[in-house]
Amino acid sequence: MAVLTHDVILDYIDRKIISIDPFDPKRVGPASIDLTLDNQFRVFKNLHETLDLHSETFDPDVFSEVKTVEKSILLQPGQTILGVTVEKVTLPPTLCGWIQGRSRFARIGLMVHISSSFIQPGVENKQVLELFNAGPMPINIFPGVSVCQILFEETVGNASYHGQYQHQDKP
């Protein structure tokens, strides 16, 4: 397995092996593409109930709500919200991806994924981000900021994701 580099990424996009929509070639780095934050966020309600994880499925609307922001959203220390990328990522069965934070934001305590950085082969959706403020001060987050990057890796064999989040476009 190998991580794709700048010229290979551009070639795969040109040959429509990878699709990033919308795509800005200026966002391609040495071995990744910067992705931007959309204006929709899933914010957790301040409930004083226990969330039981004994089931594979649960309704996120019970404990959270989707908010669309015009300007920004404030993330308090210790708070988690879900965001989503502007870009829709489509991968073939021969590639997987990894979402990574950008160091400039990590240095102030912003995490863009808590534990689900892996992007399955064959995916076709916007990427949901688990935004967590691990820093000591509130962070004002603005839609349109290049908050994370995606790395692409070749798989050994073919596989395709067909789970409940295929074609997801909201947090």
* DSSP label of 17: S
Closest by CA to 27, choosing from 8, 12, 6, 3, is 6
The Cα 102–Cα 111 span in angstroms is 9
Question: Quick check: is 154 catalytic?
Answer: no
**C-alpha 103, offset from chain centre:** 16
Question: Which entry of 49, 87, 130, 154 is annotated as an active-site residue?
Answer: 130
Nearest to 81 by CA among 104, 111, 101, 59: 111
Q: Please, are residues 99 and 112 in contact by the beta-carbon 8 Å criterion?
A: yes
Residues assigned a catalytic role:
130
